[in-house]
């Protein structure tokens, strides 16, 4: 114990002596920076600037600054520059402080703080939009002179509950040094903008910057408070599903292949999930993998539906959401003979029935008789009639005879009637 206490005392004494040695002069005092200003340089972006006090003694010391962000979100860092850029939401105001420090000697006393503040913009909080959500999606570009992959952006929001009915909202995004205003809005029944669509943006899907979205508004009856939100790209990116999924069965092997989704990320970045659904057994199998094909052994005859989805893996950026599943591909046979046969049998039965009905109708309408007249055994008297006339005439003659009101045996009457009416 005593030894330890002695050692501590010695250490403490050494530190004090060291400090005394380093201190250039007992009267050397750090002065706070002057002309500390906060300037808005973009959407949700400010530049802090200050100058060293001209009365500060320089001597042989390295000076630096400690910056403290007080609002909207506390942050603390050091710099040797006399300016600092800060990306943060601004609709709640902004305030920061800065002090001068010895760059290498943090144990030495720093200067006092100087502070600056930016008031929050006018308008009551209930007038600004609520529940802002945004998603991005990568589309392939067919125009040679533009970037191969373009990122589209879609945002939706709710109208502020205290916003007057005539309120109109305007959305802007900033990515890096690019800022754009929305041109394609969706409106609610009061014609207030509640969603926005950018078919293409300056967003770099592989970039690490955060996306800034700013929505302000105007009304004749009240000041509309603007609203800022910062989005991490990986969290809002809707990855496209894998392309050209194919599946085939050879014997007991089900082999599935696909291509990487439309994306600026290279092929090695993707994770996949394959979903194989055995329709007969109503059983789902899901496999995770990082290559673009999968072979599964199947043990029975069944129909399968195959789907694949993708996500950008942590190798290339922070893990985001899975894509939608690809359109299902169907392979295999699901007891096809019985149902197909039944269908064919039913079809044949239907055709027979229709033919039967048709022939029945033909008989009723004498069409049958007209088309295929019965050929009676020719009697001596009417033989030459058959030879010299066509069937139509015979039918006409028979009908005229039938109508004539002459009694007696028909055969006899027909013969005599024909002889009488021969010319
Ligand atoms: C601080 O600002 C004042 C007025 O804007 C200016 O006259 C002065 O030179 C500035 N001081 C420094 C050290 O830049
Ligand atoms: C909007 O967001 C709030 C809290 O963030 C939530 O309570 C509310 O249910 C959301 N409203 C709608 C319509 O999604
Ligand atoms: C909304 O913000 C944009 C970008 O800062 C600005 O140009 C525009 O004047 C603002 N509109 C309103 C109504 O405040
Ligand atoms: C993938 O499919 C698209 C159209 O669906 C086609 O243009 C493309 O050539 C296919 N890729 C390969 C490698 O087959």
**Closest residue by CA, ligand 1 atom 3:** 35
Instruction: Please report whether residue 16 resides in a domain.
Output: no
Does residue 136's CB lie within 6 angstroms of at least one atom of ligand 3? no
* 398 lies in some domain: yes
Q: Residue 20's pLDDT band (boundaries 50, 70, 90)?
A: very low
Burial of 135 (0-12, 13-18, 19+ CB in 10 A): middle
Residue that the structure tokens 């789907």 belong to: 307
β-bridge mates for residue 94, sequence order: 118
Place of tokens 């205003």: 181
- pLDDT category, 198, cuts 50, 70, 90? very high
Across 51-78, b (16+ Cβ under 10 Å) vs e yields ebbeebeeeebebbbbbebeeeeeeeee
- Domain presence at residue 57: yes
* Predicted pLDDT at 356: 73
**Residues 110 and 159 both lie in one domain:** no
List the CATH number of the domain containing 90.
Answer: 2.60.40.10
Q: Whose CA is nearest to atom 11 of ligand 1?
A: 35
Q: 145 C-alpha vs ligand 4 centroid, how far in Å?
A: 22
Say if residue 102 is in the same domain as residue 54.
yes
Q: Comparing C-alpha atoms, which of 296, 174, 170 is closest to residue 229? A: 174
User: Is the model more confident about 387 or about 302?
Assistant: 302
**Same domain (yes/no): 200, 175:** yes
Average pLDDT of the residues of the chain:
83
**Which residue owns the Cα nearest ligand 4 atom 10?**
244
Q: What are the distances in angstroms from CA 396 to CA 58, 174, 365?
A: 135, 95, 16
Tell me: the pLDDT tens digits for 313-343? 999 999 999 999 999 999 988 665 555 666 6
pLDDT in tens, 347-371: 776 776 777 776 766 666 665 556 5
Residue 162 located in a structural domain = yes
Same domain, 247 and 229: no
Give yes or no: residues 322 and 409 share one domain: no
pLDDT at res. 414: 55
Range of the domain at 158: 130-236
Residue 217 CA, closest ligand 3 atom number? 13
pLDDT number for residue 162: 94
CA dist., res. 155 & res. 163, Å (int): 19
Residue 60 has a pLDDT of: 77
Give the residue-averaged pLDDT of 63-75: 94
Q: pLDDT at position 333, please?
A: 81
Around Cβ 124, how many Cβ atoms within 10 Å? Answer: 13
Residue at 21 is within a domain: no
Query: Which residue, of 212, 236, 260, is where some domain finishes?
Result: 236
Which pLDDT does position 10 carry in this prediction?
A: 42
Residues 172 and 150 in one domain: yes
- Reported as a pLDDT band with limits 50, 70 and 90, residue 186 is very high
247-305 pLDDT tens trace: 999 988 999 999 999 999 999 999 999 999 999 889 999 999 999 999 999 877 889 99
In the beta sheet, which residues pair with residue 97? Answer: 68, 115
Kindly state the tokens that stand for 15: 């530190």
* 391-403 and 410-420 helices, crossing angle to 10°: 110
Q: Residue 183 gets which letter from DSSP?
A: -
> In terms of Cα–Cα distance, which of 137, 129, 237 is closest to 197?
137
Do 116 and 70 form a contact (C-beta atoms < 8 A)? no
Q: Which of 92, 118, 144 is the last residue of a domain?
A: 118
Q: 29 or 238: which carries more pLDDT confidence?
A: 238
- Nearest Cα neighbor of 91 from 227, 294, 268, 244 is 227
Does 192 have pLDDT greater than 70?
Answer: yes
Residue 13 domain-assigned (yes or no): no
Confidence category of residue 19, pLDDT binned at 50, 70, 90: very low
Ligand 2: residues within 6 Å at CB?
Answer: 130-131, 158
253 with 328, same domain?
yes
User: What mean pLDDT do residues 395-410 have?
Assistant: 52
Q: How many domains does the chain have?
A: 5
* Residue 278, domain member (yes or no): yes
- Answer yes or no: do 230 and 302 share one domain: no
């Amino acid at each position: 114990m005593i030894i330890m206490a002695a050692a501590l005392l010695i250490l403490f004494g050494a530190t004090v002596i060291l400090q005394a040695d380093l201190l250039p002069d007992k009267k050397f005092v750090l002065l706070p920076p002057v002309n500390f200003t906060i300037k808005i340089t973009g959407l949700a972006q400010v530049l802090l600037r200050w100058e060293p006090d001209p009365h500060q003694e320089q001597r042989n010391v390295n000076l630096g600054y400690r910056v403290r962000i007080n609002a909207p979100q506390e942050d603390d860092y050091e710099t040797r520059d006399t300016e600092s850029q800060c990306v943060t939401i601004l609709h709640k105001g902004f305030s920061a402080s800065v002090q001068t420090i010895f760059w290498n000697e943090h144990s030495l006393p720093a200067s006092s703080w100087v502070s600056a503040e930016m008031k929050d913009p006018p308008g009551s909080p209930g007038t600004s939009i609520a529940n802002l959500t945004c998603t991005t999606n990568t589309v392939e570009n067919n125009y040679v002179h533009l970037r191969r992959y373009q990122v589209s952006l879609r945002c939706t929001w709710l109208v502020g509950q205290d916003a007057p009915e005539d309120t109109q909202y305007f959305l802007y995004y900033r990515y890096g040094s690019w800022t754009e205003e929305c041109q394609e809005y969706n409106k609610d029944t009061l014609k207030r903008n509640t969603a926005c669509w950018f078919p293409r943006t300056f967003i770099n899907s592989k970039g690490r910057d955060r996306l800034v979205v700013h929505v302000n508004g105007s009304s004749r009856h009240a000041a509309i408070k603007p609203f800022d939100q910062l989005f991490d790209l990986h969290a809002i990116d809707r990855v496209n599903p894998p392309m050209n999924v194919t599946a085939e069965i050879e014997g007991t092997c089900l082999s599935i292949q696909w291509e990487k989704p439309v994306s600026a990320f290279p092929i090695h970045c993707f994770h996949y999930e394959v979903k194989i659904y055995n329709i007969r057994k109503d059983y789902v199998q899901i496999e995770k993998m990082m290559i673009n094909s999968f072979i599964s052994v199947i043990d029975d005859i069944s129909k399968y539906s195959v789907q694949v989805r993708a996500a950008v893996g942590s190798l290339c950026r922070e893990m985001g959401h899975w894509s939608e599943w690809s359109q299902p591909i169907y392979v295999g046979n699901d007891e096809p003979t019985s149902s197909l046969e039944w269908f064919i049998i039913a079809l044949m039965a239907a055709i027979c029935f229709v033919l039967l009905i048709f022939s029945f109708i033909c008989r009723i309408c004498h069409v049958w008789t007209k088309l295929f007249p019965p050929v009676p055994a020719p009697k001596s008297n009417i033989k030459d009639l058959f030879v010299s006339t066509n069937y139509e005439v015979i039918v006409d003659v028979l009908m005229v005879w039938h109508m004539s009101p002459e009694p007696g045996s028909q055969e006899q009457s027909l013969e005599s009637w024909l002889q009488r009416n021969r010319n």
